Structure 1
Amino acid sequence: MRLTHVGGPTLLVEVAGWRLLTDPTFDRPGRRYAFGWGTSSRKVTGPALEPADLPPLDAVLLTHDHHADNLDDAGRALLPSAPVVVTTASGAARLGGTARGLRPWQTTVLEAPGRPSLEVTATPARHGPPLSRPIAGDVVGFALRWEGQRDGVLWISGDTVLFGGLREVAERLRVDTAVLHLGGVRFPVTGPLRYSMTGRHLVELCELLAPRTVVPVHYEGWSHFAEGRAQVERELARAPEVQRTVRWLPRGEAVELAPV
């Protein structure tokens, strides 16, 4: 398995002959984006790679389509080049085309000649505090399974806080590699409320999941990310068993992980 962190939540996943891209964000930095309900954010770091630098894609895994820090204008322009876009049911209705919409625990199968079938199962996510879904919108994570896996799924959390749905993931799935969306997102208009996981949440979740490898994403590049790598590492220092599992990927460089 080879992972390339483009920036923010955008990750190129190459596994079992498949090339998948998560949450495409390729706009240049400097612009402010409105997220609705009086919230906004400025992009402060550009992507480590351009769309032209990517290999041909087999699919895009889009945790949600309605926030620019997960799908910006350049990322949206890339979507038609992917044969399949897997996303939320509401997002697929908005995007149309090749988009396949999944609700939590629904599965779709990607198939192509000469490659093992790849199962993509949507997992629960809640992009904010209780009762925030009508405002924050639908989000899903993704669990990936393919023939030849030895010890669990590759799981991508999506933008989510730590809530009962993630504890359900720990109960229902054996997770080998966990790609976790962090950032501890906050907005001035809602004060201390969080809209994505913090370093403390990472530690608590990993104590439940016990993954072999943890890959943080979605912790840098935007002004509404309240926790960066330094804050997360301070929490990890208090949990050495979890700390040993964490792989911080260099931006723009392919990193080989041991096969799952």
Structure 2
Amino acid sequence: MSLMRRDSTMGRDRLAQTRIALILESEGLGLEIGYHGHSCVQLTHGGHSLIIDPFISGNGLAVTRPEEIKVDYVLLTHGHTDHTLDAVPIAKNNDATIVAIHELATYMSWQGAKALGMNLGGKVSLGFAEVQMIQAFHSSSVIVDNEGQIIYAGMPAGFIIKWDGMTLLHSGDTALFSDMKMIGERNRIDLAFLPIGDLFTMGPEDAVTAAEWFGAKKVVPLHFNTFPPIAQDGEQFISKLAEKGIGGRSLSPGEKMTL
């Protein structure tokens, strides 16, 4: 094949791929990922949507208001305020169900929200997606400021979400732990959401290792730059992933991508 013909063929292939991508996007066939800042991501596909760890009204970097969020489910990894602040209002506004570990789900039901409790290792079908709760190494509590109480909120967790042939992992707040390897061996992770802020979670270096152990094809970093103590360079983290042959993208609050 001549150089001119080969270039022409490659050009047609790229054009065809672009057209397919545009068709998928226009028909809603790709899974849309919306980032609301901190650890809050919203997944939308096929007319359904869920949000994980909604901390929006208390995040000065957020560009969306909680009342603008439209979802079927609210998933919570643990009870800390920077992951649950807007869970009940969003759930009530949408008649959505909160999915969380048993103790935290019970507390959310006391606040008037519909809640579904589960525990580590368990799976639940949302109708449009399957969710499995996985281990995280962190802490979990609900702090009732006006009463001076700290309420036990069960174990911290992460989620594996299987949706229309795609597998996503939201690790929740966590340190690096060796069973990430086992999770990676048992699942083909298309996209992982991992914290990189350090201090309260693993930092960038451990997050790169976590991405390797999970076997993630791509990674979106979370839990950084919301407050000065967890300031990190998201693009530098993406570069470190690339050195290991792992794709990634650092999103700004309000930004979206399609898987």
> TM-score, normalising length from structure 2?
0.74
Matches of residues 1-260 of structure 1 in structure 2 within 5 Å?
1-28=31-58, 45-54=60-69, 56-65=70-79, 67-72=80-85, 74-82=86-94, 83-96=96-109, 97-111=113-127, 117-127=128-138, 138-146=155-163, 148-149=164-165, 153-184=167-198, 186=199, 195-225=200-230, 227-228=231-232, 230=233, 233-234=235-236, 237-238=239-240, 240-242=242-244, 245-257=247-259
Contact 2:104 2:153 in 1 (8 A): no
> How far has the Cα of 1:236 moved from its partner?
5.0
Quick check: 1:7–1:46 contact (8 Å CA) kept in 2? Answer: yes
C-alpha distance in 1, partners of 2:237/2:222?
16
What is the rounded CA distance, in whole Å, between the counterparts of 1:21 and 1:247 in structure 2? 19
Partner of 1:36: none
Contact 1:24 1:76 in 2 (8 A): no
The verdict on how the C-alpha distance between 1:108 and 1:167 changes in structure 2, with shifts beyond 3 A counting, is same
Instruction: Mark the structure with the bigger radius of gyration.
Output: 2
More helix by share: 2
Could you list the per-position Cα deviations for residues 83-107 of structure 1 after superposition, in whole angstroms to 9, with x for gaps in the alignment? 2111112211211242112211101
Q: Which amino acid aligns with 2:250?
A: W
Structure 1 length-normalised TM: 0.73
Extract unaligned runs of 5+ from structure 2. Answer: 1-30, 140-150
Q: Aligned-residue CA RMSD in angstroms?
A: 2.5
Identity, % of aligned pairs? 26
Identify if the C-alpha distance between structure 1 residues 105 and 237 changes in structure 2 by more than 3 Å, giving closer, same or farther.
Answer: same
- The AA in structure 2 aligned to 1:153 is T
CA deviations 1:75-125 (Å, max 9, x no partner) are 4422323421111122112112421122111011112xxxxx311100110
What is the identity, as a one-letter code, of the residue corresponding to 2:39? P
CA deviations 1:180-204 (Å, max 9, x no partner) are: 12211x2xxxxxxxx3121111211
In 2, distance between residues paired with 1:85 and 1:242? 36
Partners of 2:175 and 2:237 lie apart in 1 by 16
Contact 2:238 2:250 in 1 (8 A): no
* Per-residue Cα deviation, 1:126-184 (whole angstroms, up to 9, x for no partner): 116xxxxx9896211111113x41xx511111111111342332232221111112211
Q: Which runs of 5+ in 1 are unaligned?
A: 30-44, 112-116, 129-133, 187-194
Contact 1:121 1:144 (8 Å CA) reproduced: yes
2:215 and 2:192 map into 1 onto residues whose CA distance is 10
| One-letter amino acid matched to 1:63 | T
The amino acid that maps onto 1:144 is I
SS of the residue aligned with 2:89?
helix
Cα distance in 2 for partners of 1:28, 1:46 equals 9
**Larger RCO (CA within 8 A; separation ≥ 6):** 1
The whole-number CA distance in structure 1 between the counterparts of 2:157 and 2:211 is 19
Cα distance change of structure 1 residues 242 and 250 upon mapping to structure 2, 3 Å threshold: farther
* Cα separation, 1, equivalents of 2:219 and 2:249: 6
Q: Give the corresponding residue for 1:41.
A: none
| Aligned residue-pair number | 214
Relative to structure 1, the CA distance from residue 234 to residue 137 in structure 2 (aligned partners, 3 Å threshold; closer, same or farther) is: farther
